[in-house]
Amino acid sequence: MKKVLIAYVSRTGKTEKIAESIAEGIRISGNEAELKKTSDIKSPEELAGYDGYVFGCPTYHRDMIAGMKTFLFLAEQANLVGKMGGAFGSHTHSGESAPMIFDTMQFVFKMDMVDLGALNLKEAVVGTDDGLRAGQDYGKAVCEKFTN
């Protein structure tokens, strides 16, 4: 069984809902998922001991929110090279955050990223059956990387 950390920021709860559905997908795949708000992660050492990492943030003002930027500087210190990764976020129209996080994980941290790219859900879909399924499928896809 592999262990995946889902670390996220969410101001009004939409991105948190996606995080929960991704966790469900990981658990359905027979693996362990741990959910944490980035504000509860205080040191790079707290990122040790996981096989995979999925980071999430909504888009505000066409950008990530500050908590995720601070967290990514912390994650930079954790040496995640070659670790499995994914990224997600919710948005209404432009959705810059999720691909930005995905690119940082891929090109800066040099992680082994899920083939699907970032899961970037419109907030109208979050909380619907389609939204739930998209999150679960993403969690499952992340875990497929462990067996390929």
Which residues contact ligand FMN by CB under 6 A?
10-15, 58-62, 90-95, 123
Q: Return the number of other C-beta atoms located less than 10 Å from residue 34's C-beta.
A: 13
Q: Return the number of other C-beta atoms located less than 10 Å from residue 57's C-beta.
A: 31
Q: Return the number of other C-beta atoms located less than 10 Å from residue 4's C-beta.
A: 28
Maximum Cα–Cα distance for the chain, whole Å?
A: 39
Structure-token pair, residue 87: 């990224």
Residue 148 CA to residue 69 CA, distance in Å, equals: 31
CA distances from 132 to 50, 103, 124 (A): 24, 24, 12
